[in-house]
């Protein structure tokens, strides 16, 4: 340590990486963050992972932070004053709106940033810009959860709390989720639960770390979740393990679902999933017979062309055995980014105003027109995954990207580049010069979580404070104040004194946030929505006694294979995911030296039997190609991934996996199928 603890002040805040929402004390000396310590938050109970402990603050003082507005002139970015940059932005967007209409404009909001920033961003897009073409990165991670859970249960969020699903539960069904890497503090709590007797069922094409502590591992081929769950439900019904009382009193649609899953015998499903029939029978019995058993899932369920159907299958299974609306149970998506739950809650969606109030509902439009004193566009907007192709077709002309890097994160990178090149005007508001920012006409400096006040909402719907620890770098300004300036210059005056004042407006307009304010968040250590009134303590467990939609809805969901499967030209099924040390595009974790020593390049996991056949050794350079592109990376040979499948993380730009991924989408949530595409692998002979 290069400081003495008594020279520092502690600022309690929320970790800026994953959706666990760990509470952390930043140690500040002379306006610089010098350390981070775990705090006793409700989600982390004094734990922090390597990212929270070592990579949550060094990027804040990184020498390559953007500190002033930049305008591109003759292909070069040159510093500009705020006034010059904001005037240019307002003039350009206003001009495009007048010439091509409001729906020629679009905005991507930032699920790393606060609820308050996200609320004001979508308000700017809907009022000053006049469009519902607004989205956030949930589109490419958990939009299927938002749609699938809302459809079946009435609310698109985790049903229980982290503490509740990892304490005194008899079994956990973990499906398409690798929490020791992606949500490490939740992973630790699951491991602790196993030590206290919880039986873990893992469904994953990889031998993730928790497999060694599990009661059973169903190594099902990526893309077969719907078939597997139908098979488990077949067994539960056939063996009389369904909760008929719960089904009769609390649900609808059961008969159609039951008739459909009658076809999904363990033998048939085992063939599709490439596992043994007995494993399906054993998993179904263990889950159904357990007293308390939550389903925990993540992107292995959502990032498919059948992602929403996969999520609805989770609801089907929990309702079938009455394991929902009570402690230690439920359907629990682990949200990825620190505030991706909040960005969705705040209405950064083409379908929803804040609080999931529907754009398609004229009464909702009327409500927000009255509150915001202006006419609003009643047309449902485009998702981010529709905006980029529309830009390539010259239908979207102007785009405002707040804190996103779609060149690295979206599928089929060459198409994303083409889309950004096709725009007439692109604004990027960011902490660092990113691959996407390089395409901008104007770049505005953003400010980090440690330089602002506000709130994040974690994966368990808990709204928690973040607090300013250091002052912003250079000329950077509060992000929501920048949006107010842009809106005002475009003819819709907007101003807020503080993030707390923004939250007060959210509470007025969003019924499920009606009882939330900064004073209560301070005094009550966060609040879980729904929290409707000032004396409502919030809702740790949803759907108790009644589903948010009234009756829970069973859906009859036939299995459909992924859109692109291996063939003679591209013989391996590639799936993607996270690793422990790095976070998403590495914009933050990649600026911590110690982290980069542990993990600084891309790699592809190959089963040793496939590697033998291909003449590839562990550590060799290999070329990986798909119908979209080619990359080079390092081989990681072993038995973690099943035969005929390969795995890559999506963190690295040296071998960006999204040069390969398939831009096909789920019909409902328009989420891309990152989890399955076909690739070929060859050794590179140097």
Query: Which residues contact ligand SF4 by CB under 6 A?
Result: 15, 17-18, 20-22, 44, 48-49, 51-52, 183-185
Question: Which of residues 16 and 176 has its CB atom nearest to ligand SF4 in the complex?
Answer: 16
Q: What is the DSSP letter of 198?
A: P
For every residue of 370-388, DSSP letters joined together read HHHTS----S----HHHHH
Question: Which of residues 16 and 515 has its CB atom nearest to ligand SF4 in the complex?
Answer: 16
CB-CB contact of 114 with 455 (8 Å): yes
Q: Which residue is nearest to ligand SF4 (CB)?
A: 52
Question: Which of residues 52 and 526 has its CB atom nearest to ligand SF4 in the complex?
Answer: 52
Shortest CB 19 distance to ligand SF4, Å = 7
CB-CB contact of 336 with 21 (8 Å): no
Nearest CA-CA partner of 525 in 160, 115, 41: 41
Nearest CA-CA partner of 607 in 633, 634, 638, 635: 638
Nearest CA-CA partner of 402 in 421, 428, 424, 420: 428
Question: Which of residues 185 and 595 has its CB atom nearest to ligand SF4 in the complex?
Answer: 185
Question: Which of residues 164 and 564 has its CB atom nearest to ligand SF4 in the complex?
Answer: 164
Residue that the structure tokens 């391996």 belong to: 572
Question: Which of residues 26 and 49 has its CB atom nearest to ligand SF4 in the complex?
Answer: 49
Question: Which of residues 18 and 611 has its CB atom nearest to ligand SF4 in the complex?
Answer: 18
Question: Which of residues 33 and 611 has its CB atom nearest to ligand SF4 in the complex?
Answer: 33
Shortest CB 181 distance to ligand SF4, Å = 10
- Alpha carbons 370 and 363: distance in angstroms, whole number: 11
Shortest CB 36 distance to ligand SF4, Å = 9
Question: Which of residues 14 and 132 has its CB atom nearest to ligand SF4 in the complex?
Answer: 14
Shortest CB 54 distance to ligand SF4, Å = 10
Shortest CB 22 distance to ligand SF4, Å = 3
Shortest CB 344 distance to ligand SF4, Å = 18
Shortest CB 374 distance to ligand SF4, Å = 38
Shortest CB 489 distance to ligand SF4, Å = 37
- Alpha carbons 191 and 193: distance in angstroms, whole number: 5
Beta strand 398-402 with 105-108 is parallel
If residue 368 lies in a helix (H) or strand (E), which one and from where to where?
helix 362-372
Shortest CB 425 distance to ligand SF4, Å = 35
Question: Which of residues 22 and 321 has its CB atom nearest to ligand SF4 in the complex?
Answer: 22
Shortest CB 116 distance to ligand SF4, Å = 20
CB-CB contact of 396 with 425 (8 Å): no
For every residue of 412-455, DSSP letters joined together read SHHHHHHHHHH-SEEEEEESS--TTGGG-SEEEE---GGG--EE
If residue 172 lies in a helix (H) or strand (E), which one and from where to where?
strand 171-175
Close Cβ partners of 286 (under 8 Å, ≥ 6 residues apart): 171, 199, 201, 215, 216
Question: Which of residues 44 and 645 has its CB atom nearest to ligand SF4 in the complex?
Answer: 44
CB-CB contact of 403 with 429 (8 Å): yes
- Alpha carbons 271 and 279: distance in angstroms, whole number: 12
- Alpha carbons 39 and 345: distance in angstroms, whole number: 26
> What CA–CA distances, in Å, run from 148 to 71, 286, 324, 414, 633?
42, 25, 15, 30, 35
Shortest CB 316 distance to ligand SF4, Å = 29
How many CB atoms are located within 10 Å of the residue 612 CB?
A: 12
CB-CB contact of 494 with 437 (8 Å): no
Cα angle 673-177-623, degrees, rounded to a multiple of 5: 50
Shortest CB 605 distance to ligand SF4, Å = 22
Question: Which of residues 8 and 14 has its CB atom nearest to ligand SF4 in the complex?
Answer: 14
């Amino acid at each position: 340590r290069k400081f003495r603890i008594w020279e520092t002040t502690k600022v309690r805040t929320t970790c800026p990486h994953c959706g666990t929402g760990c509470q952390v004390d930043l140690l500040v000396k002379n306006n610089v963050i010098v350390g981070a310590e775990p705090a006793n938050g409700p989600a982390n109970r004094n734990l922090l992972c390597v990212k929270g402990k070592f990579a949550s603050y060094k990027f804040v003082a990184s020498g390559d932070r953007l500190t002033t507005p930049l305008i591109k002139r003759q292909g070069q970015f040159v510093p500009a004053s705020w006034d010059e940059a904001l005037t240019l932005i307002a003039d350009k967007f206003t001009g495009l709106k007048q010439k091509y209409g409001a729906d020629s404009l679009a905005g991507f909001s930032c699920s790393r940033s606060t609820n308050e920033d996200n609320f004001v961003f979508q308000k700017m897009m809907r009022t000053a810009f006049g469009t519902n073409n607004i989205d956030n990165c949930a589109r490419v991670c958990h939009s299927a959860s938002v749609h699938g859970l809302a459809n079946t249960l009435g609310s698109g969020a985790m049903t229980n709390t982290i503490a509740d699903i990892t304490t005194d539960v008899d079994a956990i069904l973990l499906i398409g989720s690798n929490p020791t890497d992606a949500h490490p503090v939740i992973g630790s709590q699951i491991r602790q639960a196993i030590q206290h007797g919880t039986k873990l069922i893992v469904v994953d094409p990889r031998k993730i770390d928790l497999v060694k502590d599990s009661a059973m591992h169903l190594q099902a081929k990526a893309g077969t979740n719907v078939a597997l769950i139908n098979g488990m439900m077949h067994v539960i019904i056939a063996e009389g393990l369904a909760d008929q009382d719960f089904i009769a009193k609390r649900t609808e649609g059961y008969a159609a679902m039951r008739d459909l899953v009658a076809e999904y015998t363990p033998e048939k499903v085992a063939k599709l999933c490439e596992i043994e029939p007995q494993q399906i029978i054993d998993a179904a019995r263990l889950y159904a017979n357990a007293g308390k058993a939550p389903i925990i899932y993540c992107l292995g369920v959502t990032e498919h062309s059948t992602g929403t159907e996969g999520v609805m299958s989770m609801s089907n299974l929990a309702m079938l055995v009455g394991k929902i609306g009570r402690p230690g149970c439920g359907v629990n998506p682990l949200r990825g980014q620190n505030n991706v739950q909040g960005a969705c809650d705040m209405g950064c969606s083409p379908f929803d105003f804040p609080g999931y109030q529907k754009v398609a509902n004229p009464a909702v439009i009327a409500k927000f027109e009255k509150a915001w004193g202006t006419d609003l566009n009643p047309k449902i907007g485009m998702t981010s995954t529709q905006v980029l192709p529309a830009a390539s077709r010259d239908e979207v002309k102007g785009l405002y990207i707040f804190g996103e890097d779609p060149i690295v994160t979206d599928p089929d990178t060459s198409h994303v580049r083409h889309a950004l090149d096709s725009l007439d005007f692109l604004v990027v508001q960011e902490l660092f010069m990113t691959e996407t920012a390089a395409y901008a006409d104007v770049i505005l400096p953003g400010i980090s979580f440690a330089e602002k006040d506000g709130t994040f909402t974690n994966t368990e719907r808990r709204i928690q404070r973040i607090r300013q620890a250091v002052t912003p770098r250079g000329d950077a300004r509060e992000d929501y104040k920048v949006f107010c300036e842009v809106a005002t210059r475009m003819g819709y005056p907007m101003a807020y004194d503080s993030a707390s004042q923004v939250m007060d407006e959210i509470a007025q307009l969003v019924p499920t946030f009606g009882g939330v304010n900064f004073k209560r968040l301070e005094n009550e250590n966060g609040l879980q929505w729904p929290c409707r009134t000032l004396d409502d303590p919030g809702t740790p467990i949803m759907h108790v006694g009644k589903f948010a939609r009234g009756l829970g809805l069973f859906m009859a969901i036939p299995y459909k294979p992924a859109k692109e499967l291996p063939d003679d030209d591209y013989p391996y099924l590639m799936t993607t995911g996270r690793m422990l040390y790095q976070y998403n595009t590495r914009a933050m974790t990649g600026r911590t030296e110690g982290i980069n020593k542990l993990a600084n390049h891309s790699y592809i996991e190959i089963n040793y039997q496939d590697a033998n056949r291909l003449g590839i050794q562990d550590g060799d350079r290999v070329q990986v190609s798909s119908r979209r592109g080619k990359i080079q990376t390092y081989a990681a040979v072993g038995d973690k991934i099943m035969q005929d499948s390969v795995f890559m993380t999506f963190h690295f730009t040296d071998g960006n996996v999204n040069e390969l991924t398939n831009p096909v989408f789920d019909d409902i949530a328009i989420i891309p199928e990152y989890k399955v595409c076909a690739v070929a692998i060859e050794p590179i002979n140097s």
